[in-house]
Each structure stands twice: as structure tokens, then as C-alpha cells.
Amino acid sequence: MKECNQCGKCCIAYSDGGLSASAADIEGWETFNPEISAYVVDGKLWMDPHTGVQLSRCPWLQELPAKSASAAVMYACRIYHDRPEDCRHYPTSVAEMARD
């Protein structure tokens, strides 16, 4: 599939309960990145660590400063190298890529 263009659509469209992580992802976060695992509750991703409520957007999605007043909004993933398996494989099809 194509390289990330930093549009943020994958995170915005799927981060509110639409993502899953492998057991290996979760175990790795628990061991090496507890700040990420704090947002995982019973295998569900991106839960508020204080309230347990599902977040509407990935807490690791960061809006980048605009390059100009007319530039499209761009995003970065603050956990890109440790992102969940679903994120690593996005988009999964040409149809998904075109739709999103």
C-alpha cells in the first residue's frame, strides 16, 4: 500500500473503538511502554485511563503545525513505531484506501 500522507483519516475514522491490538502489542506496551498500556482496558484500545470511557480519538494522534494558512491539516502518530497491529496494516485494501 502507499506511504502515509499524514492525513490522520485512519486514526480519526477508527480510533473510537474500531481498532484492535494483538496480544503481543499489549504485552510489549505493558513491559516497555506503560504510558501506552494505560489506555488499554480489557484488550480495548484508547480508553481514558482515569474514567475507563472509550475515547473518541486516538490519544497519540498529534495535529502538526500548519505550513501555511491554506494548507491541509496534517497529523503525526506519537507512537508510530509502537502503534497497534491494525494501524501497521492500514489500509488493508484499495477500496479502504479510496474510501478513507
Q: What is the 3-state secondary structure (H, E, C) of 80-95?
A: HHHCCHHHHCCCCCHH
What pLDDT is stored for residue 47 in this prediction? 95
Task: Determine the length of the chain.
Answer: 100
pLDDT in tens, 2-17: 577 788 887 887 778 7
What are the tens digits of pLDDT across the range 24-54? 999 999 999 999 999 999 999 999 999 999 9
Q: Which residues contact 100 (CB under 8 A, 6 or more apart)?
A: 9, 10, 13, 91
